[in-house]
Amino acid sequence: MPAERPTKAATPGVRKSMQSNKGRDTKPELALRRAVHALGLRYRVSARPIPTLRRTADLVFTRAKVAVFIDGCFWHGCPAHHTKSATNAAYWSEKVATNRSRDAETTRLLTEAGWTVIRIWEHEDPIEAATRVAVAVRSTY
């Protein structure tokens, strides 16, 4: 039987902090979008690459079948920058492991459906990341 997950934040401060986390339009996402747009590419924002699959990519190039995900270092367990939470460590460890598992499944499902999946860490240089995206998109034309 899996360990029981806490249903409430440890403190009101943690709750407030968690509620302020954005699901889209984060600084790394906006920086990448600006850089990709400057390269002349147009895309859909926060869209499902496959409508029947309940997974949303940060940038979607429908004709080229390229889906871009910008992964946060804490939330997705970046090998270089992920830090363990001091409070409720077991919960957060399980949460990050679940996110990583879902990321791998999403990549697999999209790849099997003929999509190119690009995963970018939030700490990556947006210009370099945009160049990777542009190469992938333009290679399909």
CATH number of the domain encompassing residue 73: 3.40.960.10
Strands 116-121 and 66-71, sheet pairing: parallel
Let me know if residue 91 belongs to a domain. yes
Let me know if residue 16 belongs to a domain. no
Let me know if residue 14 belongs to a domain. no
Q: Which residues span the domain enclosing 83? A: 24-138
Per-residue pLDDT of the chain (141 residues), as tens digits, is 444 444 555 677 656 555 556 567 899 999 999 999 999 999 999 999 999 999 999 999 999 999 999 998 878 888 887 777 778 888 888 988 999 999 999 999 999 999 999 999 999 999 999 999 999 999 987
Looking at the structure of the chain, the number of domains it has is 1
Q: Show contacts of 96-100: CB within 8 Å, 24+ apart.
A: 99/75, 100/76
Let me know if residue 1 belongs to a domain. no
pTM for the complete prediction? 0.83
How would you write 86-139 as a 3-class SS string?
CCCHHHHHHHHHHHHHHHHHHHHHHHHCCCEEEEEECCCCHHHHHHHHHHHHHC
